Chains A and B, each alone.
Chain A
Amino acid sequence: MADESSPAVETTDETSTLASPTSPRSPLEAAVSSPLQLDHVGHAGDNSFRGAAYAAAFVVVALVAFVGVFLAVIAWPSLSRNTVPFLTSTVWNVSGTEMAFGIAGLLWTTVLSSVVAMILAVPIAVGTALLVTHYVPPKLGSIIGFVIDLLAAVPSIIFGLWGLKVLGPALGPLYDWLQRTLGWIPLFSKGVDSTGNVLTASVVLAIMILPIVSAMSRDVFRQTPPDHIEAALALGATKWEMIRTAVIPYGRSGVIAASMLGLGRALGETVAVMIILSQTNTPGINVSLFSGGETFASKIANNAAEFDSPAKTGAYIAAGLVLFLVTFAVNAIARLVADRRPRS
């Protein structure tokens, strides 16, 4: 995603913005090509095809804009009827005539599960990326890469099912031990009885974002300039010192961008989290990793059957709007970081 602005492309960009910002190059192109054209067979086709291509591009831009606009339009009436502060309240009561809904609890569970997932996934992803690019022979590396990429193909409902029925129960003893030894820290305090807690969701999310982070890290590590690597080795660096001084500095912003993309994916993941997390009725924010709860996405999906009146729907759509804005911001930052990557 980050490799389209090569130096050659950037120079054309400057000349074309001088010509016209909206339909760049076209006046110039027309001027040059029309005297040379032997007959005019192609014009109608050219114009309509160009129109179709521009329309498709417009659809892409419009879709993103529409998502934000439509969600905001539908959410607004419900938000204006809301009796509690939307951003800081933890209650969610939308069935009565008195609507009271706030997203603080959802925001906490969403961010906690995703950040923990990122903390678990990024070191493993970077490790595998280094393994594939700098430790094992290329052939074996591509096989390992293939296996990790296949993980990205597993549907999220399968991750959810596996997390609920297999992984959670398997991690149960570890959870008990963590609660016994670290229980005095609020983050590790006693939560729900089932293993359908935030930590299980985080582990599953970590597995889900691992292939994304790993694949992007692999790409940047592979592009490390050979000069840097050879220079480090010539100075007597060990393999790790070479990686620390040549590979990591070169790939750092790529890894950060990849982690942000992974975070964005984890924030919006719906079904796996919905299946795993047990819903709790405890009021307020559940601080512990061992508590249940709901994220934005799982809250919306869990209550899909309740979208019967516009006011109720609006409350859930307001939560969806916040999720959209958060993922938009995270993805935009990822893109900006990736674009600032150093180039050889």
Chain B
Amino acid sequence: MSAPTTMSSLTAPRGSRRVTDVVVRGLVYLSGVIAVVPLVWILITIISKGLPVILSAAWWTQDLAGTTDRRAGGGALHAIIGTLEIGLITAVVAVPIAVLGAIFLIEYARGTRLARGVSFMVDILSGIPSIVAALFVFAFLITILHFDRSAIAAALSLVLLMLPTVLRSTEEMLKLVPDSLREAAYALGIPKWRTILTVVIPTAFSGIATGVVLGLARVMGETAPLLILVAYARNLYLSPTSDTMATLPTMINTGRDVAETLAGYDRVWGAALTLILLVMGLNLLARWIARAGRLKDR
């Protein structure tokens, strides 16, 4: 490495240092490429196999009653409705607890040891595997209280998974609400609870909505609790207390071993594409809400 002595060669790194730098740069770019491959691969697979199935009107308007894996036709209406219904029940239970929990952490106990303890428990809750959440609900509702399996039981186990997601994003948002707003409300003689409801929550609303939508996306894609707590059926069941209700994840799971030549195999990919559209759609919606909210704050 005998470079000519110009100004730049005096300052630029030479030899092994330069080689290492270039090699690392290459590896860093390579890791970026590797990281993007799976998503693209998954999306191409699912779209190419699932798109023909979901383009038919019957897919969105019929259930699979009366069909078999050998026969084409029918649709995923039963599973779509089931997924939405269980998601909705989960949100109705989880969101109030999550928002109040975040209000506790930020408005009532901010900076205290108690808040830190609760916050730690939220972290633990967000790390609980879905199968453990499902076993907990099974142990409590079914083994101890002798209820039957039901869509509500599945929704209750999903509450454990949705709660920390919504709580964290609400908490982050409440943290960003400036104290001057709270103080202005107190100065007007408004009690704390009304300040929270009429000043703090509306200011943080977009963040809370983002958290709710992200939480919904997470629980609608969950499978494990549904396997344990509610049975799959090919028919549309609407009652939340019934022990059978189809959902998109369990529809995929039930059909995963169908032979490739049968119509049921195509329907599995159709259900996968429907589920991914639903979940990705919710994720994009959450990002859009977050961005719209941020612009308004400015």
Instruction: Name A residues whose Cβ lies closer than 8 Å to a Cβ of B.
Output: 1, 4-5, 9-10, 12-13, 16-17, 21-22, 24-25, 37-39, 41-43, 45-46, 48-50, 52-57, 59-61, 63-64, 66-67, 70-71, 73-74, 123-128, 130-132, 135, 144, 147-148, 150-151, 153-162, 164, 166-167, 207, 210, 214, 236, 238-241, 243, 261, 264-265, 267-271, 275, 296-297, 300-301, 304, 307, 310, 313, 316-317, 320, 323-324, 327-328, 330-332, 334-335
Contacts and interface: CB of A to CB of B under 8 A. Distances in A.
B41 A335 contact: no
17 contacts: A42-B194, A53-B108, A57-B105, A67-B133, A67-B136, A67-B160, A70-B139, A124-B35, A128-B32, A131-B28, A144-B32, A150-B39, A241-B21, A270-B130, A270-B223, A313-B143, A320-B131
Given A155-B223, A236-B11, A164 B130 contact: no
B97 A25 contact: no
B32 A151 contact: no
Contacts of A56: 96-101, 103-104
Contact of B160 (A4, A63, A162, A330): A63
Given A50-B193, A154-B276, A128 B111 contact: no
A24 B109 contact: yes
Contacts of B123: 1, 331, 335
A257 to B, nearest CB: 11
Contacts of B5: none
A323 B143 CA distance: 20
B138 to A, nearest CB: 7
A-B pairs with lowest CB-CB distance, top 6: A42-B191, A268-B129, A127-B31, A155-B221, A56-B100, A49-B193
Nearest to B228: A304
A9 B131 contact: no
B124 interface: yes
B36 A153 contact: no
Given A21-B113, A150-B39, A271-B223, 17 more contacts: A1-B168, A42-B194, A43-B191, A53-B104, A53-B107, A54-B104, A57-B118, A151-B38, A158-B221, A161-B268, A210-B35, A239-B24, A270-B129, A270-B130, A304-B227, A330-B127, A331-B127
The interface residues of chain A, by DSSP majority, are classed as helix
B21 A238 contact: yes
B283 A153 contact: yes
Given A127-B32, A155-B275, A166-B45, A313 B112 contact: no
Interface string B14-45: 00011011001101111110111011011001
Contact of A238 (B17, B28, B125): B17
A63 B125 contact: yes
Interface stretch (B65-73, B84-92, B204-212, B248-256): B248-256
Contacts of B119: 4
Contacts, number: 300
B29 A335 contact: no
A323 B98 CA distance: 25
Contacts of B45: 162, 166
A162 B120 contact: no
Nearest to B190: A42
B18 A238 contact: yes
B153 interface: no
A327 B131 contact: no
Contacts of A265: 127
A327 B35 contact: no
A316 B134 CA distance: 12
Interface string B129-151: 11111011011101110000000
A155 B222 contact: yes
Contacts of A157: 221, 223, 249, 252-253, 272, 275
A341 to B, nearest CB: 15
Interface in B184-221: 189-194, 196-197, 217, 220-221
Contacts of B138: 307, 313, 317
Interface in B241-265: 249, 252-253, 256
B189 A52 contact: no
Nearest to B276: A158
B294 interface: no
B224 interface: yes
B280 interface: yes
B193 A46 contact: yes
A262 B145 CA distance: 35
Given A42-B191, A236-B11, A52 B124 contact: no
Contacts of B272: 157-158, 161
A156 to B, nearest CB: 7
B158 interface: no
Interface string B215-240: 00100111110011000000000000
A135 B24 CA distance: 11
B117 interface: yes
Nearest to A310: B143
Nearest to B282: A153
Nearest to B224: A270
A269 B36 contact: no
B111 A16 contact: yes
A96 B127 CA distance: 34
Contacts of A275: 253, 256
Nearest to B44: A166
Given A60-B125, A64-B121, A74 B100 contact: no
Given A13-B112, A297-B224, A328-B124, A71 B136 contact: yes
Contacts of A330: 127
B114 interface: yes
B128 interface: yes
